[in-house]
Structure 1
Amino acid sequence: MRKLVFLDLDDTLFQSRPKCPTDADLRPVAYLRDGSAHSFMTAKQQAFWHLLDTNTTVIPTTARDLDSLRRVELPFQSWRIIDYGGIVLNPDGVPDAPWLERMTTASRNHLEDLNELLDHVATFIVQQGLSAHVRIIEDFDLPFYLVAKYREGRDGDLDVLQRVLIQPWVADRTSVYRLHRNGNNLAVLPRTLGKEHAVRYLIEILGGEWGELMTVGIGDSLIDGAFMAECDYSLTPRGSQLFGETIGRPLL
């Protein structure tokens, strides 16, 4: 039986330096475009990676685009799910054609809405003097979702942007869009986009090729819960957003 692990990366397998324990034995594994180390694995994360890499087929399941995934120094050798599930790469690193066709149609259907929201958010940031920036994430010439981040440590500015503008916008369109917030990451995603859709798709086609599968989903964010629920087993790091909202809550 083949064992598949659908593995979120950032804040699950590694994290930026400020999020690491000060006394940790760290290994740099992800880099910025200028070549500087940005994300690190602790000793426990390194041991966890070794356990997965030597006993399972690991499929990174990440919001990262192709460029940022290439700057992760880990030997992913099988399929890869990137862009929140917008792109599925085969083991040769080529986008899976049927999935690309499906997501091309979905992307075109949401482009007008996302561009409209982008203009509203950019104008609001200037008018309110917020230290934040916003953009639409694209990969393979396809626009997928909108993301806003705060600058200069002013996380309260992102709170204002979320509460006053973005959250009401999504609330009026809950059947079409969803809101994701985890730290300095505020995203508006079409419901046609999601790691869970890509995971379900890969489980179906790989099960047809390889026979019976045992699947594990590993992630840290609330939004990861959807793709983890597609798997036979689910894991989340202690202290993660998902942990705090589920098994980390005290019993009443």
Structure 2
Amino acid sequence: MHRLVFLDLDDTLFQSRRKCPSAGGLRPAAYLADGRAHSFMTARQRSLWQLLDDQATLIPTTARDHDALCRVDLPFRSWRILDYGGVILDPEGHPDGAWLARMAAHAHDSLDELNTLLDRILTFVAQERLALQARLIADFGIHFYLVAKYREGRSADLERLQGELIAPWVAERRPGYRLHRNDNNLAVLPAWLGKEWAVRYLITRLERDWGELLTIGVGDSLSDGSFMAECDYAILPRGSQLFATTLANLVRRD
């Protein structure tokens, strides 16, 4: 039986130095475009990676685009899921054509609304002099979703943007869009985009090719829960966003 592990990366398998529990034993795992090390693995994360890599086929399931995934220093040798599920790469690194065509058709229907929202955000940021940047995320010629980040440690600026503009915009268009917030990132995702859709598609395809599968989902955030629910088993880091909303209340203290 083939074992597949669908594995989120950022804040699951590695994280920025600021988020690491200590400075000891860290190893670089991902780099910025200028070559600087940005994300690091702890000894426990390296041990988890080794355990999974020895026993299963690892499939990164990430919000990273292709360029950002190429800057992850880990040997992924099989399928890869990028862009919140917008792109599926085969083991040779080529996009799955049927999936990409499906995403392109959906993206065409959402692009005008996302561009209009981006214009409103940029106007709001300029008028209120907020330390924010916002852009549409595109890969392989397809615009997938919108992301906003705060700069210079000014997290309150992102709170304002979320509360005064983005959250009401998403609420008016539910269930067509959803909002995902994780640390300094705020993403507006169309309903057709999601890691879960890509995981379901790939499981179905690989079951057809390989036969019966054992599937495991590994992730840290609320947005990961949906793709993990497509799998037979789930693993989540203690102290993560997903842990806090599921298992934390079961922890017994003396």
TM-score (structure 2 length as normaliser): 0.98
SS at match of 1:38: strand
Matched, 1:185 2:185: yes
SS at match of 1:249: helix
Which residue in 2 is equivalent to 1:49? 49
Matched, 1:114 2:99: no
Q: Aligned-pair distance for 1:78?
A: 0.3
Which residue in 1 is equivalent to 2:72? 72
What amino acid is the match of 1:92? E
SS at match of 2:249: coil
Question: Superposed, which structure 2 residues align to 1:5-44 within 5 Å?
Answer: 5-44=5-44
Query: Structure 1: how far apart are the matches of 2:194 and 2:6?
Result: 13
TM-score (structure 1 length as normaliser): 0.98
Larger CA deviation: 241-250 vs 179-188: 241-250
Q: Residues 208-227 of structure 1: CA distance to partner in whole angstroms, max 9, x if unpaired?
A: 11100000000011010000
What amino acid is the match of 1:79? W
Q: Residues 95-130 of structure 1: CA distance to partner in whole angstroms, max 9, x if unpaired?
A: 000001000101101000000000001101111111
Which residue in 2 is equivalent to 1:198? 198
Query: Structure 2: how far apart are the matches of 1:150 and 1:100?
Result: 31
Query: Structure 2: how far apart are the matches of 1:68 and 1:251?
Result: 36
Which residue in 2 is equivalent to 1:60? 60
Which residue in 2 is equivalent to 1:162? 162
What amino acid is the match of 2:110? H
Which residue in 2 is equivalent to 1:236? 236
Q: Aligned-pair distance for 1:250?
A: 4.9
Query: Structure 1: how far apart are the matches of 2:240 and 2:25?
Result: 20
Which residue in 1 is equivalent to 2:92? 92
Which residue in 1 is equivalent to 2:248? 248
SS at match of 1:226: helix
SS at match of 2:178: strand
What amino acid is the match of 1:69? L
Stretches of 4+ aligned residues off by more than 4 angstroms: none
Which residue in 1 is equivalent to 2:101? 101
SS at match of 1:110: helix
SS at match of 1:53: helix
Q: Aligned-pair distance for 1:143?
A: 0.4
RMSD: 1.1
What amino acid is the match of 2:202? L
Query: Structure 1: how far apart are the matches of 2:160 and 2:27?
Result: 36
What amino acid is the match of 2:186? L
Identity of aligned residues (%): 62
Query: Structure 2: how far apart are the matches of 1:65 and 1:23?
Result: 28
What amino acid is the match of 1:194? G
Q: Residues 21-53 of structure 1: CA distance to partner in whole angstroms, max 9, x if unpaired?
A: 224301101001111100000000000000011
What amino acid is the match of 2:10? D
Query: Structure 2: how far apart are the matches of 1:250 and 1:202?
Result: 33
Query: Structure 1: how far apart are the matches of 2:167 and 2:157?
Result: 14
What amino acid is the match of 2:162? Q
